[in-house]
C-alpha cells in the first residue's frame, strides 16, 4: 500500500494524497506570480520564504508541501 510522502495517508497512486496534491498545484501555479512580484526568485528561495515566514498566510497543507520540496531541493545540493 502506498503512502503520501508528507502525511503518510494511504494513497492509490502518485506520491501525494489528494489534499497535498492540490496544495502542490497551487504552489506551482503561484510561483510565477511570486517571481514577477520580486523580479528574481529561485524555487528554493520561494519555498524558503513560505516555510520560514510565519506571517505569510499560507495554508497548513501548502506549507507542508513547501517544507517537503525545500528538503528535496536541499538534498540535491
Partner 1 sequence: MVRYLCISEKPTAAKRIAAALDETGKARKIPTPRTFASVPVYECKNNGDIIYVIPALGHLYSTVEDSIKGWHYPTFNYKWVPTYLAQQKNNTRPFILAFKNFSEKVDEIIIATDYDLEGEVIGASIAKFACKKELNSVRRMKFSTLTKKEILESYKNMHPSIDLNLAQAGFTRHEIDWLYGINLTRALTLAIKHATGRYKLISTGRVQGPTLKFVADREREIQTFVPIPRWAIEATIILDGEEIALEYQEKFIPTLAEAEQIVRETTDTEGIVSKITERQFSQKPPLPFNLGTLQSEAYRYFGYSPSRTLKIAERLYLNALISYPRTGSQQFSETINHKQILKELTKSELYRDRAEKLLQKTTLKPTKGKKKDPAHPPIHPTGKKAPAALRTEDKNIYRLITCRYLALFGEPAVKKSLRLDINFNGYIFFLRGMKVLKKGWLELYAPFGKVEEIELPELKKGDTVKMLKVRKKQSYTQPPARYNPNSLLKKMEEEELGTKATRANIIDILYSRGYIEDESIYATDLGFAVIDTLEKNSPEIIETELTRHLERNMEKIRSGEKTRVEVLMEAIRELKNILENFHKKEEIIGVTLQEQVQNLKQRQRILGPCPICKQGELIITRSRTTQKRFVGCTGYYKKLCDWSAPIPQQGYATPAKKNCPHCGFPMLTIRKRGKRPYTICPNWLKCPGTPQEVLDNYQNQKAEALEAIGEDEEDEL
Q: Does 16 bind partner 1 (CB under 8 A)?
A: no
Cβ-Cβ contacts under 8 Å for 15 (sequence gap 6 or more): 2, 4, 5
Q: Radius of gyration (Cα) for the chain, nearest Å? A: 13
Cβ-Cβ contacts under 8 Å for 64 (sequence gap 6 or more): 6, 7, 20, 23
Q: Quote the least distance from Cβ 76 to partner 1, whole Å.
A: 20
Q: Quote the least distance from Cβ 9 to partner 1, whole Å.
A: 4
Contact pick of 10, 13, 75, 76 for partner 1 (by CB under 8 A): 10
Q: Does 75 bind partner 1 (CB under 8 A)?
A: no
Output DSSP code: residue 16: S
- How many residues bind partner 1 (CB under 8 A)? The answer is 27
Q: Does 56 bind partner 1 (CB under 8 A)?
A: yes
Amino acid at each position: 500500500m502506498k503512502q503520501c510522502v508528507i502525511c503518510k495517508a494511504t494513497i492509490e497512486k502518485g506520491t501525494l494524497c489528494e489534499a497535498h496534491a492540490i496544495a502542490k498545484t497551487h504552489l506551482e501555479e503561484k510561483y510565477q506570480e511570486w517571481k514577477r512580484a520580486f523580479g528574481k526568485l529561485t524555487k528554493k528561495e520561494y519555498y524558503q520564504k513560505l516555510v520560514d515566514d510565519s506571517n505569510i498566510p499560507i495554508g497548513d497543507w501548502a506549507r507542508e508541501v513547501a517544507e517537503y520540496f525545500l528538503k528535496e531541493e536541499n538534498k540535491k545540493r
